Structure 1
Amino acid sequence: LVQRPFNLPDSSVIRLTTARYFTPSGRSIQKPYDEGVAEYRKDLQKRLEHGELIYADSIHFPDSLRYLTNNKRLVYGGGGIMPDIFLPIDTLGTSDYYSRLSRRGVINSFTLDYMDNNRSRLKADFTTEDDFINKFVVDDDFMEKFIEHAEKEGVERDEEGLEASGDHIRVMLKAFIGRNLFDLNIYYRIISEVDRELQQAIQTMGDDMAFKNMLVSN
C-alpha cells in the first residue's frame, strides 16, 4: 500500500492509505483483506508453519488464482504475487538472544551511549561515509563492551546465541553508529551488504536480457 503520514498535535502519526501498487499488466500486489484484519495478520505465521517461506514447492495456488499477463504468461495472484525469483527466508543470524536484544532496544541504547562518549573523536577519525565504512571495525573488545551493556539491560550472555547472531550484531552495531555519525543513508549502505534480497535484485537487474524479459512478461 502507498501511505501518506500525517503528524498529529500529540506527536503521534496517522498513516492514510492513498493508493495501491499494481504491476504494468494491472495485477495488485496487495493481499486482500476479504477475511478481515485479524486473518490478514495471521497470514505470515501460517505461511511459516506451512513451509512456504523456506521451500518453494510448499507454495500451492488454486486454479482460481491463475492469471494470464498481457503477453499470455501464466502467473498466479490473489494473495499478493508469487515472485519470479524465490529466496527462502534467511534464518542465519537469528536467535533467541538476538530477539531479546531487539525487544529491549539494546543495540540502539548502546550505540547512543557510545556516540555520546566518542562523537568528537569519531568525527575527527571519519570525515566521510566511505572512511567509516572502510575503516571502522567492530572488533572483539567492542563486542565485549556491548555484551556487558546488554547484561546491564537484562539480557544475559548467551554463547550459543552469539555464535548464531554475532556477525549480524556486528553489522547492526556498525550501521547504527554510522547512522548517528552521518545519516540514514549510510545505515542502508552498511546493512545492504548482508541483505540477500537486495543483492539478488542487483544481480538480476545486472542481466539486461533476463531483466527485460521479466518486465515485459509481467
Structure 2
Amino acid sequence: DKLIVYTQGDKQPRFDFNSKRPGLFEAGKLVILVDEGSASASEVLAGAVQDWDRGTIIGRRTFGKGLVQEQYNLSNGAALRLTVARYYTPAGRSIQKSYAAGRAAYQDEVTARFHNGEVVHADTLKAAFGKPFKTKGGRTVYGGGGITPDVFVPFDTAAFTPAMGSLFYDGKFTRFIYQYYIERSEYFNKFKTPAQFIDGFQDSTESWNRLVTFMNAENVQLDKLSSADKREVQKRIKTWMARQLWRMQGYYEVHNRYDQAVIRAVAEVKKQPA
C-alpha cells in the first residue's frame, strides 16, 4: 500500500494514488531509461521508482508533463478542459515544468536543452535543479520539472550530424534498404534470427558501396561524410535491415548493441545487489 503519485491544486485537495495489490516486480534488479521525450505516465513511474529507491533512473531529464485537467461539457456539444491540479511524486516533487518564462519559452523548452548543452553535458543539469527533496533512502533529488536521472547518458550527437540529414530525407534510406533486401534476399533470408544476423552480417564494404551508388542516383553525395558519420551509417544499414527482416523486434535487438543508454543500463544492473 505504497504511495505512487498524488494530485493537488490550489482549489483541489490532495488525492493519493497508492498501490493496492502485490506488484509484478517488487524485488529484483531494476533500471528505467528516460530522456527528454519521456512524459506523463512514464514520469510518474520513474518518479515513484526513484523516490522509493526501488531502482536506478538512467538517461536524461524527462519532459516535465504533469498537469491534471477536468472536462466540462457545454450545451452545444463541445467541451472545455481546465487545468485544476498537478501530479507530484511520493517525495513531493512536481513533475510539471514551469511556465514562469512565458508561453513561447515553455513551448521551446526541450529545444533549448539542445542549445544550452543540457542533453550533452551532465554539469548543465545543475541549471535545471529546483527545490531539493529526499528519497526514502535519504538521497537528494530535485523538483522543478521532469525527473532528473540518477545516471546521466548524453545525447549521441554522432548519430544526428547535419551531413547525414540528406540520407534520411524523404524516405531515401528506407527505399535503399528495401532495394538492397530485394536484390540480396536469398542472402538475407538465410539468417533465421536477429542473433544470427548480428553475428553473420559483416559485409560493410559491399553495403557501403551499394549505398553510395543508390544515393548518387538520388543526387546525394556521401564523399563529404566524416569517418565517424560513415561508421554511424553502416550501423544504421544493419539495424534497418534487421527491421526489414523482423520488424521492430529485429531493429531493437540490433540497435541495442550500439545504444549507449542501453549499454550503460546493462552495466548499472550488474552493479546492483542480487
User: Percent identity over the alignment?
Assistant: 23
Aligned to 1:54: 120
Secondary structure of the residue aligned to 1:89 is coil
Q: TM-score when scaled to structure 1?
A: 0.74
Aligned to 1:106: 172
Alignment check: 8 A CA contact 1:179 1:185 kept:
yes
Alignment check: 8 A CA contact 1:97 1:158 kept:
no
**Structure with the bigger percentage of helix:** 1
Distance in 2 (CA, whole Å) between partners of 1:133 and 1:29 is 43
Aligned positions of 1:28-177 closer than 5 A: 30-32=95-97, 34=99, 38-61=104-127, 64-123=130-189, 125-159=190-224, 161-177=225-241
Structure 1 unaligned spans of 5+: 1-16, 213-218
Aligned to 1:183: 247
Aligned to 2:260: 196
Alignment check: 8 A CA contact 1:119 1:181 kept:
no
Q: 1:37 to 1:154 in 2, by over 3 A?
A: farther
Count of aligned residue pairs for this structure pair? 192
Q: TM-score when scaled to structure 2?
A: 0.60
Aligned to 2:8: none
Alignment check: 8 A CA contact 2:43 2:146 kept:
no
Distance in 1 (CA, whole Å) between partners of 2:156 and 2:128 is 27
**Structure with the bigger percentage of strand:** 2
Query: CA RMSD, aligned part only?
Result: 2.8
Based on CA coordinates, which of the two structures has the bigger radius of gyration?
2
**Residue 30 of structure 1, CA deviation:** 5.0
Distance in 2 (CA, whole Å) between partners of 1:57 and 1:19 is 27
Aligned to 1:3: none
Distance in 2 (CA, whole Å) between partners of 1:195 and 1:63 is 27
